Amino acid sequence: MVEFLQFTLSGISFGMIYAAIALSLVLIWRGTRLLNFAQGGMAMFTTYIALEVIRHTGSYWAGFAVALAAGLVLGAAAELAVIRPTLGKPELNAVIVTIGLLILIEGVAGIMYGGQFRSFPAAFSVVGLKAGSTPLGVSRADVFVAAAVLAAALLLATGFRYTSVGLRMRAAAFNATVARLSGVRVARVITVGWALAGLLGALAGVLVSPSTFVYPNSMDSVFVLGFTAAVIGGLDSPAGAVVGGLLLGVALSYAGGYLGSQGSDLTALVALGILVVVLMFRPDGIFTAGRMRRV
């Protein structure tokens, strides 16, 4: 029973990371109907920036803040520089461009920061919390991870719903032409969307890096699982991203814990199994409204 609790809590902790990546993918999808394969790479790069800041100033929170700011800038820059020219062209072109961007960022990170693992500090202590004498399987750092992502998701949701920027973003995503006719600066809205996605990615990066250590490919597997979480939850739904992330994180944790020594090998297959089951019943993810066109 104790193990169950430990598996669940550690699964939630990792699941929130997947949720953060999923959220950023959802943001970009809603804004530009694109899959951004470079999301993980951008998160890794902002984490390196945070590392440099922490090294020079000694302050974790300075690094944290700079990482988020860098995420904003990087997301906007990527959109303006390489994504904008692909809008209006075949969709897959933009996907390939993001793949190229990912490879470029990983190469640049390799050039700038060399070939060792770097250690990244956690926000708070990694010593496990206990209930009485039983270790719960989470630390203060894990609680912070969950809280940070949840806060980001809530801010995003309220922002979408209650601010005019959010309204403009939703309008542009729903129907760009009509939105433009209503006076929405669609281009600017798209850039804002990518910037916010960059920020979310940067958040995921600094939150997960204590566990993955920082190196140019550190975010690759996190990205795959974040993408899976987004697909499970439905690419149009931020709530879906969070639910998908949690579901995936917890299920993988159980798989690793209960399937014995083969469990570690089979985690990817378990994730695939979950995805297949979900998509079998809801081909567009859990939270997407069903499509209308049927014959």
Site for other proteins in 201-240 (CB under 8 A): 210-213, 215-217, 220-221, 224, 227-228, 230-231, 235-236
Binding flag, residue 110, other proteins (CB under 8 A): yes
Shortest CB 124 distance to other proteins, Å: 7
Nearest residue (CB) to other proteins, 68 versus 184: 184
Q: In sequence order, what are the residues at sequence separation of 6 or more whose Cβ sits closer than 8 angstroms to the Cβ of residue 165?
A: 159, 189, 192
Nearest residue (CB) to other proteins, 21 versus 154: 21
- As a whole number of angstroms, the distance between CA 195 and CA 157 comes to 16
Nearest residue (CB) to other proteins, 61 versus 154: 61
Nearest residue (CB) to other proteins, 103 versus 154: 103
Nearest to 176 by CA among 164, 157, 165, 190: 190
Report the SS3 class of residue 276. Answer: helix
Site for other proteins in 264-283 (CB under 8 A): 264-269, 271-272, 275-276, 279-280, 283
Shortest CB 290 distance to other proteins, Å: 10
Site for other proteins in 26-85 (CB under 8 A): 29, 31-33, 35, 37, 60, 82, 84-85
Out of 65, 89, 147, 158, name the contact with other proteins by CB under 8 A. Answer: 89
Shortest CB 162 distance to other proteins, Å: 22
DSSP conformation letters of 172-194: HHH-HHHHHHTT--HHHHHHHHH
Q: In sequence order, what are the residues at sequence separation of 6 or more whose Cβ sits closer than 8 angstroms to the Cβ of residue 263?
A: 255, 256, 257
Q: How many residues lie near other proteins (CB under 8 A)?
A: 118
Shortest CB 85 distance to other proteins, Å: 5
Shortest CB 226 distance to other proteins, Å: 10
Shortest CB 237 distance to other proteins, Å: 12
Report the SS3 class of residue 238. Answer: helix
Site for other proteins in 139-168 (CB under 8 A): 139, 142
Report the SS3 class of residue 134. Answer: strand
CA dihedral (270, 271, 277, 281) in degrees, to 10, reads 170
List alpha helices for 79-139, DSSP H: 91-113
Nearest to 135 by CA among 261, 264, 10, 260: 10
Out of 49, 97, 207, 247, name the contact with other proteins by CB under 8 A. Answer: 97
Nearest to 48 by CA among 205, 225, 220: 205
Nearest residue (CB) to other proteins, 151 versus 265: 265
Out of 40, 71, 75, 137, name the contact with other proteins by CB under 8 A. Answer: 137
Q: Report in angstroms the alpha-carbon separations of 55 from 36, 52, 63, 203.
A: 30, 5, 9, 18
Shortest CB 165 distance to other proteins, Å: 16
Site for other proteins in 112-131 (CB under 8 A): 114-122, 124-128, 130
Site for other proteins in 167-186 (CB under 8 A): 172-177, 180, 185-186
Amino acid at 273: G
Nearest residue (CB) to other proteins, 165 versus 279: 279
Q: In sequence order, what are the residues at sequence separation of 6 or more whose Cβ sits closer than 8 angstroms to the Cβ of residue 222?
A: 17, 18, 21, 40, 43, 204, 208, 212
